[in-house]
Structure 1
Amino acid sequence: MADCEPDAQRFMDLTVPEYAYMFGFLQADGHLAQGVGRKGRLTVEINAKDVGLLRRFQQLTPYYSSITERTRATNFSEAHRSAVWTLCSLDARTALNDLGLPYGSKSRTVAPPTVAFARRDYLRGVVDADGSVGRTGKGFPFVSLTTASTAVAAYLCFYAGKVTGSERTLKRNARDDVYNVLYTKENAQLLAADLYYDGCLSLERKQAAADALSTWIRPAGMRVAPARRRWTADEDRVLLRLDDDAAAAAELGRTEKSCCIRRWRLRTGRTPMPASVSPSRK
């Protein structure tokens, strides 16, 4: 882990990996409450087994904060033990709020920072708080994230696409109205190795789970799904110019079905028109 001493001038400098991770975790699992006047507080409550992470947050913060533990009944346990980190400093809360941690309800509105930030560390914080790393019931590696934020889900897909070469289509699930972003097998191995690098700040149990994914080897005979071919702006222009699925399929080396679906998405606005196509062509 990089040496990061708490300093008021450096606090929440998101180019520092530890602070980028911490901010991602707080966006997903923290709660910023505003009181009367200058009063208010930031709280994070996690399983007491993970209290070591809160102690690290406390060490990274150059303002007074406290950690307490409590036992309460939950849907999963009659005596669930949790640890709560509480930070009341107005300066600290203002810094976090300015970076994009809103007061009150935040699940849909949080988004990746607009300032420079350590990308994989930020995403690891989000995954540690609201995601999962491990193996499926069949033993396949997986990395997943459940979030209500379109911006966060889209950013994970963008970043993971660069790491794995795999695309994801965002769609809220019907039951909970949230996004469930999932990577499995080799894609999960690549993403986990990138996010959970040696010496990074993370939940110890998820670091261990990520490290264990590297031992998986695809069984002999298991088919590898071909990578999806992305549509380019030039292909979109050809598709719209020809306005004929069969002709476009022959020229672009695609199927008529894929051309039909792509043309429908362009015409209905579900996919943006390429830059050189005027609105009148829609």
Structure 2
Amino acid sequence: MDLEDPRYAYMFGFLQADGHLASGTGNKGRLSVEINVRDIAILREFQQLTPYNSSITERVRSTNYAERHHSAVWTLCDREARAKVNDLGLPYGRKSKRITPPRVEFSRRDYLRGIVDADGSIGYTGQGLPFVSLTTASAAVGAYLCRYAKAVTGTARRIGRNTRDGVYNVVYTKEAAVQLAAHLYYPNCLSLARKSTAAASLASWERPAAMRVRPPGRRWKPWEDRTLLNSEGTTAAAAELGRSEASCSVRLWRLRTGQVRRPEDLPPNP
């Protein structure tokens, strides 16, 4: 499995996000992917790409989300094939928090497209804004998408775990979403047909004339935090720092409640 080949890079990203590698007694085990039957075509692509015997089956069962869920399952049991994907970074058993981008050379945008196809969403919000999002339990994968997308779009994102379920939600909207979707879903790339169609639909979006462009965020510096903490109030601090009073109020609350580190708690500059 050469991950510099765009097809295998995509496939590996998809397997990391939606696949399951199980071990059995002795040398037994299996690699499987179960997805909605509407996406069965991608499993057939995987089957053709894999030089080992594998099978695709369908089943209908009741789940927490639907009384009748029709799914397709691709299963591969070959020991050598399982060893290869495991060596590349697909762990056995529960792996959602443990997956990381490959440590070998790989086609980056194709790998990320596989991740987004499996665990992401593309489309328009209820307000008609284009978006590309990823939900992942892996800090490494979430951070990698942020770094890569910043290089492509110039838009920075900082990830943080959702307090409700402990996952990361990375979302790009407007121009950043349009640029990222066009970059990941290039013509004739291997992908879920419905995601590719959704990505193509974003290209027609144009910012309404009345929608202002929000300037990039301005990071708080330690000296600004010290000024804010020592100030008589947020109004005076806002005037001195050239920031809005609302911004100063939120930052002060975060400093006092431990949401962010106080300047005296930060390590000294080297």
TM range (shorter): 0.7 to 0.9
Q: Partners in 1 of 2:186 and 2:118 — Cα distance? A: 17
2:37 corresponding residue in structure 1: 48
Q: Partners in 1 of 2:31 and 2:24 — Cα distance? A: 11
After superposition, residues 69-218 of structure 1 pair within 5 angstroms as 69-218=58-207
Contact 1:32 1:102 in 2 (8 A): yes
1:161 Cα offset (Å):
0.7
Change beyond 3 A, Cα 1:119–1:219: same
Is the partner of 1:215 in helix, strand or coil? coil
CA deviations over 1:77-96 (Å, ceiling 9, x no partner): 22211100000011110000
1:67 corresponding residue in structure 2: 56
TM-score (norm 1): 0.82
Contact 1:166 1:228 in 2 (8 A): no
Identity of paired residues, percent?
61
Change beyond 3 A, Cα 1:147–1:259: closer
TM-score (norm 2): 0.85
2:10 corresponding residue in structure 1: 21
CA deviations over 1:3-56 (Å, ceiling 9, x no partner): xxxxxxxxx211000100000000000000001111100000001111100000
CA deviations over 1:242-281 (Å, ceiling 9, x no partner): x7679xx9xxx97595999999466535xx765x3xxxxx
Change beyond 3 A, Cα 1:254–1:113: farther
Is the partner of 2:203 in helix, strand or coil? helix
1:268 corresponding residue in structure 2: 265
1:8 corresponding residue in structure 2: none
Q: Gaps spanning 5+ residues in structure 2: where?
A: 231-236
Q: How many residues align?
A: 254
Is the partner of 1:81 in helix, strand or coil? strand
Q: Partners in 2 of 1:57 and 1:132 — Cα distance? A: 21
Q: Partners in 2 of 1:18 and 1:266 — Cα distance? A: 48
